[in-house]
Chain A
Amino acid sequence: MRLFLLFFLVGILLILLQTTLLHLLPIGPIIPDLTLVLCVYLGLYHPTVGAALGSFLIGYSVDVVSSPSRMVGLNAFAMSLVFLLVYFGSRSIWLQNPLVSSIVVLFAALVKSAALVLISAFFVSLEGFWIGATWYIIQEALAAAVLAPVVFGLLRAGENYAARFRAAGQ
């Protein structure tokens, strides 16, 4: 439960970063999807019910703060899907190399984008909304993939710190 809360708070922090600070990065309109990286991390290292709910909540939080009212739930669906796929894939992925985490995040980002496209087309049918978005999707996926090893490292360091803190308390 504590870990769930910790990751939820980290998720909130990452959403704050995505909605504010990361807009200052000189990489044009691209915002690295750090919440996606967190969901991948949860799927790889914490395959629990709490992590599944956490992924959903993170996606839903993104919807609450940024999606149009007609499309709320879109990110929640995409994040849950990413978590599920990473969960299934984690059994056959050897994650000692940071490059592998980048590749996993890259694929996860592409899957998430594909899910967003399909679901939005099915439910909202915004004609032409996704036209020309391919390059944007690839760029966003690449940005997330580049940052993935850093975020993974920070999350692991945070977990180790929390574990030491808990051990010291006991």
Chain B
Amino acid sequence: MLAFVRKNQVPLSSCFCLLLSIYILTAAARGQLKNEPLGALLMWIMRPLQIASESAVNWVKNFRDNYDTLAGFKSENERLRKRIQTLEVERQRLLEAEATNLQLKALLDFRTRLPAGAITASIIANSANSWFQSCMIDKGSSDGVRKGMAVVTPLGVVGQVVGVTPHAAKVLLLTDPNSGIDVLVQRTRSRGIVSGSLDSGTVLKYVKRSEDIQEGDRLITSGIDGIFPKGMMVATVIKVRKQHIGLFQFIEVLPAVQTARIENVLVVAGDGAGKS
């Protein structure tokens, strides 16, 4: 008997443990397992260890949560930055579209006041040097643009078409020394020619000394040249100088249209356009 027990002590002890477990289970199921010392001892051993372990785990958990939060902030920040960039580009595009829209709307309104057949064009290039004041527009003979047509904006006169290709045209600006626009002084109806000059900017030529010209006088197209429609704003007088000798006054003017700042223009035919 003793030999059997010795030989099978492990399975027998295991079976004992199984029976003990069943006894404990039965007692527990009946609610009779109260204040049993082994459980209390194990709890007594485990409690401080569990508290310490839980503290460590909480620390790890907090660290991980903080890290996750920070990582979340970082990715959110990155996402928002990209969003801001996208919106900024979009905003820029919309502002540009709005500005273009306003320009075109003004041009359209202005077009109704012009003779029929006005052609809307965009400036696509400026003069290659400072000797000549000209620009290129994106409409040419295939669009109806002809040499000698006037180029205007709602603000006033820009220049005159001096060269045409099928899909583009060259415009001589009124600030060029070779240009000449017949104008009237709006206040006195005195006549003169507005032209560019290399040394003095834009000037009003051929006004007699006896004419009453003052700074701030507005110059409008006379319509006599057959190129520009009558009554369009050309420039404003900024300086008047009567010389001791000579027939004419020296008058500096400021063009109504700053050609460097415009993008869209109208090409209109005066009475004599295209005849030359």
Contacts and interface: CB of A to CB of B under 8 A. Distances in A.
Interface of A: 12, 15-17, 19-21, 23-24, 47-49, 51-53, 55-56, 59-61, 63-65, 69-74, 76-77, 80-81, 83-84, 87-88, 119, 123-124
A20 B25 contact: no
B90 interface: no
Nearest to B38: A60
Contacts of A53: 13, 17
A80 B14 contact: yes
Contact of A52 (B10, B24, B39): B10
B49 interface: yes
Contacts, number: 111
B25 A87 contact: no
A70 B42 contact: no
A24 B18 contact: no
B33 A74 contact: no
Nearest to A124: B29
Contacts of B17: 52-53, 55-56, 76, 80, 83
Contacts of A60: 21, 24, 38-39, 42
Interface of B: 9-11, 13-15, 17-18, 20-29, 31, 33, 38-39, 42-43, 45-46, 49-50, 53-54, 56-57, 60-61, 64
B60 A12 contact: no
Contacts of B54: 20
A131 to B, nearest CB: 21
A21 B58 CA distance: 9
B50 A47 contact: no
Contacts of B9: 49
Contact of B57 (A24, A48, A71): A24
A47 B49 contact: no
16 contacts: A16-B49, A16-B50, A23-B57, A47-B10, A49-B10, A56-B17, A56-B20, A60-B39, A64-B39, A65-B43, A71-B28, A73-B21, A77-B18, A80-B17, A87-B14, A123-B26
A20 B59 CA distance: 12
A60 B21 CA distance: 8
Main secondary structure of the interface of B (DSSP, over half): helix
Q: B27, B38, B57: which has the most chain A beta carbons within 10 Å? A: B57
Contacts of B49: 12, 16
Contacts of A84: 11, 14-15, 18
Q: B23, B24, B25, B45: which has the most chain A beta carbons within 10 Å? A: B25
B18 A81 contact: yes
A16 B53 contact: yes
A77 B14 contact: no
A87 B2 CA distance: 21
Given A16-B49, A20-B50, A64-B39, 4 more contacts: A17-B53, A52-B14, A55-B14, A74-B21
Contacts of B42: 60-61, 64-65
A119 B19 CA distance: 13
Q: Which 3 A-B pairs have the closest CB atoms?
A: A73-B24, A77-B21, A73-B25
A15 B49 CA distance: 10
A56 to B, nearest CB: 4
